[in-house]
Structure 1
Amino acid sequence: MAGFTFTLDLAPGYRLHDVLAFHRRDTEAVAEQVEAHRLRKGVMLDGVPVLLDVAFEGRFGSSRDSLGAPGRAVCTVHANGKLSAAVRRRVEVQAHDAILNILGLRIDPAPFCAFAADDALLGDLVRAQPGLLIVQSATVFEALTWAVIGQQINLSFAIALRRTLIQLAGRRHSSGSWCYPGPQDVAALELDALLARKFSRAKGETLLRLARLVDSGALDLALSPANSIEQISAALLAVKGIGPWTVNYGLLRGYGDADCSLHGDVAIRAALQALLNEEVKPDMARTEQLLARYAPHRTMAAAHLWASLHPLADKE
């Protein structure tokens, strides 16, 4: 088994408990195992089962303040099998990117905090939760499949369907952990296997369509000078079953795009309803207008609105 280790510095006030809570959502822990100061996640990278093992060292503050000394994340990557030099290099790059994603290190929260600290609508939320992070999926493909799974269903059911997809299409790492599947793995599934496990036909067909387009190379998810985020967005919107909400959510969780407008998100609208103290949720058009004032930081605005619905209890 190939392996390597690297260390990432974590700023004072790093909200470790928020990050761990995000990865602890699946109580059966098939692909993510969370301990007090450790996170392990299985994921397919370049067709290789990989375990990302992150140990956190340092003192971390509470969920509502910016206390805490600088810490660090000691990241060990365990890849199954004996890898060629070329595959090892690709896995190393992808693993480093995946760890930045799952630790919420893509978007610096400070610019939005400064931007919105005195905002009439979100200022109180920002001051109450300094340093709030956007935690991402390990890969863009994971983010997009999670967005498809989560369309128009509640979170607990979405988590159960995600677990099913992992167990149907994923592979086990030598450690025993399931690895979140890659496009090749999902593309090989039959629709009937998904339908038998509570996937709707529309959801199952969209997942398979997306996976097969990515696996074949017809849909390129890699950012490059020749393939911008705008081009990727347009290509995703052209896929049957994928709409603006799925694209924006995928951009947020997959690429760490800092200016995603989640005006189609029901929870965002519910949070705004509570803040505005109104009897009904604002419609999508008004929600888009309300969020527009926070450009180019609309992703962080969404994060604070989500967090306002589910405040975390302080704990070390």
Structure 2
Amino acid sequence: MERFEIALPGGYRLHDLLAFHGRDAESVAEEVKPDRLRKGVLLDGVPVVLDIALGADRAACAVLADGDPAAHAAVAPLAREAALNILGLRIDPQPFLDFAAGDALLGELSRRQPGLRIVQSATVFEALTWAIIGQQINLPFAIALRRTFILRAGRRHSGGLWCYPDAASAAGLDPDELLTRKFSRAKAETLLRFSALVASGELNLEPGPGNDIEDIGKALLAVKGIGPWTVNYGLLRGYGYADCSLHGDVAIRAALQALLGEEAKPDMARTEAILKRYAPHRTMAAAHLWASLHPRGDDGQS
């Protein structure tokens, strides 16, 4: 069993982490407690539970992998990357706070929550499939569909938790397994089309020379059924990309409406123009706008 520790920065907002990963009260792939998070995920085809004990200044992580021990060495670095995602440690919030300090619209808002971070999905594939599942429906229904997807395409770990699917396991689904469980045909077909492209290697989600984040975004947009909101949300939750424009997000537009004191939400074009002022920190701008709708401490991140 692999073990490692990750230092947590000063002012780390543990409640944001627990709120995001505890969205599903009936969760089958996450177990959330005040001082511990257990997350099931398929990493390189291996069922893994990341058991993360949360302290005041560090997270102690144990990697519980099923199957052939010979495969566990390859899983260890993937587990470390997944833990960084889960803990929301990809984007340092300070550059945005400095950038927005004197801003008339977001300056005061950002000062209220200086430790706010973007919590991510464990893997890029999880983030993008969650974006596909959640597009154009309300959050409770999206959470229920996500649970169905995990149970149909994931694998159960020996410890009891289900592991979030990887591309290969999802690509093997029969569409009817989703259509008979409240998935629309369009959503099911997009989800399985995307999974098949990733599983075959035709769609490369690994950043590198000749395949930067912008290239990945363009490739995603070329997939039938995937639009700009899904791409930006997926890049945000999957890669911790710092400059995602969420101008198509209804909650972002509602937050801007409240801040501007207007009677209607700004349209997408105006929202895009407003958010462009905060480039290259638009992801953190979105985080603070989401949080403004939930002043009691829940960051509101969907």
TM class by shorter chain equals over 0.9
Match for residue 34 of structure 1 among 32, 37, 57: 32
1:16-35 matched pairs, under 5 angstroms: 16-35=14-33
* Cα deviation code 1:63-98 (max 9, x no counterpart): xxxxxxxx11001111002232xx333311111000
TM-score of the pair, normalised by structure 2: 0.97
How far has the Cα of 1:231 moved from its partner?
Answer: 1.1
Tell me the distance in 2 between the aligned counterparts of 1:132 and 1:147. Answer: 21
Aligned residue for 1:287? 271
How far has the Cα of 1:152 moved from its partner?
Answer: 0.4
Question: Aligned with 1:44: secondary structure?
Answer: strand
Aligned residue for 2:248? 264
Tell me the distance in 2 between the aligned counterparts of 1:311 and 1:213. Answer: 40
Aligned residue for 1:242? 226
Aligned residue for 2:6? 8
Tell me the distance in 2 between the aligned counterparts of 1:139 and 1:313. Answer: 26
Aligned residue for 1:129? 113
How far has the Cα of 1:57 moved from its partner?
Answer: 1.7
Matched, 1:201 2:218: no
Q: Which amino acid aligns with 1:109?
A: P
TM-score of the pair, normalised by structure 1: 0.93
Match for residue 53 of structure 1 among 45, 51, 58: 51
How far has the Cα of 1:310 moved from its partner?
Answer: 1.8
* Cα deviation code 1:152-210 (max 9, x no counterpart): 00011100100110011110111000100011111111111101000000000000000
Tell me the distance in 1 between the aligned counterparts of 2:157 and 2:138. Answer: 29
Question: Aligned with 1:12: secondary structure?
Answer: coil
Match for residue 138 of structure 1 among 91, 113, 122: 122
Aligned residue for 1:66? none
Matched, 1:83 2:83: no
Matched, 1:274 2:258: yes
Matched, 1:105 2:89: yes
Match for residue 310 of structure 1 among 291, 294, 300: 294
Tell me the distance in 2 between the aligned counterparts of 1:313 and 1:105. Answer: 19
Question: Aligned with 1:163: secondary structure?
Answer: helix
Tell me the distance in 1 between the aligned counterparts of 2:142 and 2:136. Answer: 9
Tell me the distance in 2 between the aligned counterparts of 1:169 and 1:263. Answer: 31
Q: Which amino acid aligns with 2:220?
A: L
* Deviant stretches of 4+, over 6 Å: none
Q: Which runs of 5+ in 2 are unaligned?
A: none
1:313–1:254 CA distance, 2 compared to 1 (3 A): closer
How far has the Cα of 1:234 moved from its partner?
Answer: 1.0
Tell me the distance in 2 between the aligned counterparts of 1:231 and 1:57. Answer: 38
Tell me the distance in 1 between the aligned counterparts of 2:214 and 2:274. Answer: 22
How far has the Cα of 1:12 moved from its partner?
Answer: 1.4
Question: Aligned with 2:69: secondary structure?
Answer: coil
Matched, 1:72 2:58: yes
* Cα deviation code 1:205-247 (max 9, x no counterpart): 0000000000111111111113111111111111000011110
Question: Aligned with 2:31: secondary structure?
Answer: strand
Moved more, 32-41 or 223-232: 223-232
Overall identity of the aligned pairs, in %? 70
Question: Aligned with 1:49: secondary structure?
Answer: strand
Instruction: Kindly report the root-mean-square deviation, in angstroms, between the aligned alpha carbons of the 2 structures.
Output: 1.0
Question: Aligned with 1:114: secondary structure?
Answer: helix
How far has the Cα of 1:285 moved from its partner?
Answer: 0.6
Matched, 1:211 2:195: yes
- How many positions carry a matched residue from both structures? 298
Question: Aligned with 1:278: secondary structure?
Answer: coil
Aligned residue for 1:44? 42
Q: Which amino acid aligns with 2:41?
A: V
1:311–1:90 CA distance, 2 compared to 1 (3 A): farther
Matched, 1:299 2:297: no
